[in-house]
Amino acid sequence: MNFGTVAILGPGLIGGSLALALADRGLAKRLTIYARSPRALDEIRIAGIDAELSTNPSEAVREADVVVLCVPIEAMGALVQEFRDALKPGALVTDVGSVKGSVDAALAPLLAGRAWWVGSHPMAGSEQSGFIAARPDLFENAAVIVTPTPATAPGAAAKATEFWRALGARVFTLAPEEHDQAVADISHVPHLMAALLVASANPASLPLAGGGFRDTTRVASGSPELWIEILWANREALGRQCSAWAAQLEKIERLFRQDTPAAKSELFKLLEQAQSTRSQLIDKKPPVSRS
């Protein structure tokens, strides 16, 4: 399988891993990489990836059959406006942003009639960032969500699915809004909770922390600059979750205060359900360890 010329815009952790993975698997006839700064391109040059490098996005996409936007979500609209006139007719444009409703709303009108557009979100990454953290196996066994809408050309979703599958990912298809709700559950709310666990702990308690605390809060080491944009872009779904959590925690506080066998048994049921669900998660898919 070969996807022709692939343009990667933004060679950070995800874009850099994409370049490494495409090269490793021989999936692109030609690779072009755009970065805003020449310094970022120097890193790629030093790594010895066989790609054409440019700080001009129009140059990077001109011959591309597949264009993958790997820049921060808040930078995508302006970038697309900059390069869209240079796109080859019939090119597939997709992205790797962590939020899909607002990205689709911003990009679909800009690309309508000019290219096949469909959003993607690889659920891969780590608390690290930048090309320095890129790995050719980042997408292997990772979940990637492709988010077509009624306005999406059917061929676009099929081609994006084929692209991520070729990189070793398990591809799911959800509407952008379904995606945003799901990632609130499994990524954005966990990130917020991890940050709150660290920020609200008494600093004097931290030297006592064991492996459990380190694991539970690992994601809080992620870039605040990156995460504020992700959380903010998904603020509607997240706001609803915050209210639901506040109500849930007040209920648990009442159970503790009641201190009856029935109250204890209710909290026990929550722990039991969580354990059972969490264990199924392990059983279904061996965890892909990420440093």
Residue 109 C-beta: closest distance to its own copies, Å: 22
Q: How far is the CB of 145 from its own copies (least distance, A)?
A: 6
Q: Which residues pair with residue 93 across a beta bridge?
A: 67, 117
**Closest CB to its own copies among 45 and 278?**
278
Closer of 54 and 120 to its own copies (Cβ): 120
- x/- mask, its own copies, residues 257-286, rule CB under 8 A, reads x-x----x--xx-xxxxxx-xxxxxx-xx-
Cβ-proximal residues to 44 (8 Å cutoff; 6+ apart), any chain:
11, 16, 19, 33, 35, 51, 53, 131
192-221 positions binding its own copies, by CB under 8 A: 192-221
- The closest of 247, 276, 212 to 268, measured between CA atoms, is 276
For helices 101-111 and 176-183, give the axis angle rounded to 10 degrees. Answer: 150
Minimum CB–partner distance for residue 271 and its own copies (Å): 4
| Residues in 218-257 at the binding interface with its own copies, rule: CB under 8 A | 218-224, 227-228, 231-232, 235-236, 238-239, 242-250, 252-253, 256-257
Taking CB under 8 A as the rule, which mask of x and - marks residues 135-174 in contact with its own copies?
-------xx-x--------------------------x--
Q: Which residue among 15, 125, 136, 148 contacts its own copies (CB under 8 A)?
A: 125
Tokens matching residue 225? 């600059």
State the minimum distance, in angstroms, from the CB of residue 220 to its own copies: 5
Beta strands in the chain (DSSP E): 5-9, 30-34, 52-54, 66-69, 92-95, 116-117, 119-122, 143-147, 170-173
Judged by beta carbon, residue 55 or residue 265, the one nearer its own copies is 265
In sequence order, the 6+-apart residues with CB closer than 8 A to the CB of 227 are 191, 195
- Residue with smaller CB distance to its own copies, 80 or 183: 183
By the rule CB under 8 A, 55 interacts with its own copies: no
User: Angle, to 10 degrees, between the axis of helix 235-258 and the axis of helix 261-284?
Assistant: 140
Minimum CB distance to its own copies, residue 105 (Å): 16
Residues whose CB falls within 8 Å of the CB of residue 186, separated by 6 or more in sequence, listed in order: 123
**Closer of 38 and 232 to its own copies (Cβ):** 232
Looking at the Cβ atoms of 81 and 258, the one nearer to its own copies is: 258
Minimum CB separation from its own copies for residue 160, in Å?
16
What is the smallest separation between the CB atom of 37 and its own copies, expressed in angstroms?
Answer: 23
Q: What is the C-alpha separation between 141 and 99, in angstroms, rounded?
A: 21
Using the Cα atoms of residue 227, residue 72, residue 181 and residue 279 in order, give the sign of their dihedral: negative
For its own copies, the binding residues in 95-114 under the rule CB under 8 A are none
Instruction: Determine the Cα–Cα distance for residues 232 and 225; give it in Å rounded to an integer.
Output: 11
What SS3 state is found at 199?
Answer: helix
Give the shortest CB-207-to-its own copies separation in angstroms: 7
